Amino acid sequence: MSSIRLKDHDNIPVTLPQGLSEDQLLNFKPFTTWISTLTHSLSLQSRTTTHPFHQDPYRLTSVTIQAFDIFGGTGRVGFLKAVADVSNAAGERLPASVFLRGPSVAVLVMLIPDDVDPHSGSDERYAVLTVQPRVPAASLAFVEIPAGMVDGHGSFAGAAAREMQEELGLEIREDELVCLSELAADQGEDEERLPNAMYPSAGGCDEHITIYSHERRVPRAQLRDWAGRLTGLRDHGEKITLKLVPMRDLWRVGARDAKCLAALALWEALQREGKI
């Protein structure tokens, strides 16, 4: 075990486990973002007289890194497990164990047959889902909406995006995405500076997911061909497969996936508000 101090954050001591260097920790952006955002939120207690903790503010006094994972062969930290000491003068402590993994994105991909009249009021559309192993969920066939990242080249990246391009020929660029999270954001000032994103497990994880949608009209014959191919038998070696479902069934088929339910709720609400 070793210890460092965060010079930019009141010299808060951080205990590191064996095998994790100071450079590796400070180059792990989810950690530095978490510390910066947390210390800013804590500073609001004394600056804002209406803050509920103004009279007896909480302070971050130390952080202990309990475990870490290195992405294979890169030397780069992939995940961290940490516990922080956040307490007030009365000795009350806030729950502060956190699994740090950083942000991600999810995309609600909707396909509409091109023979549907956009002025007819028809809601016929189909959502693209992925089916893949998710060992943390103890599943080898977890159903969810596509998720990954938007890379520096302006495209939706990751295994789900590659699979959509390979199986359906759908390549989704960043400028083709509608950010549902931004459209749904409260327009008032967010003093805590949290991102406009969905936190699926705020009690234990920093992960926040920015939710997008993408809508595309496709020939009905092509849609039928895709649906037949994707619902047929696949080679057992496939690690990720795609699934097309009618939008009216999405809440049921994707009910285990927080990203799916959040995306569907945002999309339906923004439609009601006339924002999309």
Domains and CATH numbers, the chain: 2-100 (no CATH), 104-272 (3.90.79.10)
Confidence of residue 233 (pLDDT cuts 50, 70, 90): low
Please check the confidence at residue 234 and state whether its pLDDT lies above 80. no
Per residue in 199-229, pLDDT tens?
A: 999 999 999 999 999 999 999 998 888 887 7
For range 4-32, the mean pLDDT: 93
Residue 208, C-beta contacts closer than 8 angstroms, at least 6 positions apart: 103, 104, 194, 195, 197, 198, 199
User: What is the band of 232 on the pLDDT scale with cuts at 50, 70, 90?
Assistant: low
Q: Look up the pTM and report it.
A: 0.90
C-alpha dist (Å) from residue 136 to 133, 156, 217, 232, 259: 9, 24, 35, 27, 16
Choice between 196 and 166, residue whose per-residue pLDDT is larger: 196
Please, are residues 98 and 205 in contact by the beta-carbon 8 Å criterion? yes
pLDDT at 74: 77
pLDDT tens digits, residue range 264-273? Answer: 999 999 999 9
Q: How confident is the model at residue 167 (pLDDT cuts 50, 70, 90)?
A: confident
Share the mean pLDDT of the chain.
90
What is the arithmetic mean of pLDDT over 152-172? 80
Averaged pLDDT, 55-64:
96
Give, as one character, the DSSP assignment of residue 173. Answer: B
Give Cα 140 to chain centroid, integer Å. Answer: 20
**What are the DSSP calls for 189-220, one per residue?**
--TT---SSB-TTTTTB---EEEEEEEEEE-H
Q: What distance, in Å, lies between the first and last C-alpha atoms of the chain?
A: 52
Number of alpha carbons in the 13 Å side-chain half-sphere of residue 111:
23
